[in-house]
Amino acid sequence: MDAHENRFVRSAPRNEAGQRLRSAIGGDSVTPLIGVFDMFSASVAARHYDGLFVSGFGFAASYYGLPDIGFIAWPDMVGFVQRLRLAFPRHHLLVDIDDGYVDPEVACHVVEHLEAIGASGVVIEDQERPRRCGHVDGKRILPLEEYLEKLRLVLRTRRDLVVVARTDATDEREIVRRAEALAATDTDVILVDGVRSAEWIRKVHAVTGGKPLLFNQIAGGRSPRFSLSDLAALGVGVAIYSTPCLFAAQAAMDRALARLKEEDGRLPQVTDGTVGVADCLSLLERNLSRHHSRAHG
């Protein structure tokens, strides 16, 4: 028995979060997961949705102030997910782990950490470094067998964690080849990132043997703007919204600071539709652990 098999049979508690997300994805409707970039954005998103996506794009922007091209260190991401789980004990938490932080052993180590702290699932991609956002030019992908070796090790390491296998292939023939190969593994969900049409979602669905598909929504990205009803009709099981909180925060902060400058530094009155100290504290107090039993029954 090798080291990876030893990992798999260790005595450890089951990951109920993974089971809950898997059940939701297997349901009749599309499961939406909202991309969050820090604890505050997660606090707002959690008021509206029961699923959160820990976006690499958003986390790189918030934590480092840098584009998402490979700067994220895995301990920073694990620490963030741990804080999220403490504040949101019942929400789905799907975590973007990029390429597994390059090395297959590191990918497996990160998966073990995330499962231990209660993450629901991970997304692992086939990009080479320096990586790129899935909706921009310049992406390069690993040889398929190299990626599959890493993916299979991750699949043997996880217990109940949902694993989303992502390909960033752009050539149509290569998309089909990789989608078929990913479907032949024990992967739970398949993501072809940056897919450009409903026709291509149908083509991927046709070759993946009924495995759930994930669709990545990003404002200004390559993919069409579909509704959840549209995606359900295309056979998609889960939709991630990578950046609505991040982009909304950028726009709102720009407007607020421009107005503050125009008003000679005088703050606006707190009225309906604006936030003051009481509203903000009310939001944050919901995250205190003593309130969870009341909030979740």
Q: What is the mean pLDDT of residues 215-237?
A: 89
Q: Is the pLDDT of residue 297 over 50?
A: no
Q: Is the pLDDT of residue 222 over 90?
A: no
What is the rounded distance in angstroms from the CA atom of residue 1 to the CA atom of residue 273?
Answer: 61
- For residue 43, the model assigns a pLDDT of 97
Q: What is the mean pLDDT of residues 243-252?
A: 95
Cα angle, residue 90 at apex, residues 86 and 92 outer, rounded to 5°: 100
- Which of the four pLDDT bands, split at 50, 70 and 90, describes residue 105? very high
Question: Tens digits of per-residue pLDDT, 187-202?
Answer: 999 999 888 889 989 9
Q: What is the largest CA-CA distance in the chain?
A: 70
Q: What are phi and psi of 218, to 5 degrees?
A: -145, 130
Q: Is 170 left (phi over 0), alpha (psi -120 to 50) or beta?
A: alpha
Q: Is the pLDDT of residue 120 over 90?
A: yes
- For residue 255, the model assigns a pLDDT of 94
Give the length of the chain.
297
- For residue 7, the model assigns a pLDDT of 46
- Which of the four pLDDT bands, split at 50, 70 and 90, describes residue 3? very low
Q: Is the pLDDT of residue 6 over 50?
A: no
- CA 202 to mean position of chain CA atoms: 22
- Which of the four pLDDT bands, split at 50, 70 and 90, describes residue 239? very high
- For residue 293, the model assigns a pLDDT of 61
What is the rounded distance in angstroms from the CA atom of residue 236 to the CA atom of residue 59?
Answer: 25
- For residue 137, the model assigns a pLDDT of 66
Residue type, 82: Q
Contact 52, 33 (CB under 8 A): yes
Q: Is the pLDDT of residue 288 over 80?
A: yes
Q: What is the mean pLDDT of residues 116-135?
A: 85
Which of 8-22, 72-86, 207-221, 232-246 is predicted least confidently? 8-22
Question: Tens digits of per-residue pLDDT, 248-280?
Answer: 999 999 999 999 999 989 988 888 678 888 888
- For residue 202, the model assigns a pLDDT of 94
Q: What is the mean pLDDT of residues 142-146?
A: 95
What is the rounded distance in angstroms from the CA atom of residue 18 to the CA atom of residue 159?
Answer: 9
Q: Is the pLDDT of residue 69 over 60?
A: yes
**What is the fold of 3-256?**
TIM Barrel (3.20.20)
Average pLDDT of the chain to the nearest whole number: 89
Contact 25, 71 (CB under 8 A): no
What is the rounded distance in angstroms from the CA atom of residue 31 to the CA atom of residue 29?
Answer: 6
DSSP line for 86-131: HH-TTSEEEEE-TTTSSSHHHHHHHHHHHHHTT--EEEEE-BPSSP
Burial class (CB in 10 A: 0-12, 13-18, 19+), 19: middle
DSSP 269: P
- For residue 134, the model assigns a pLDDT of 53
The domain locations on the chain are: 3-256
- For residue 63, the model assigns a pLDDT of 97
Q: Is the pLDDT of residue 5 over 70?
A: no
- Residue 78: which of 125, 29, 117 has the closest Cα? 117
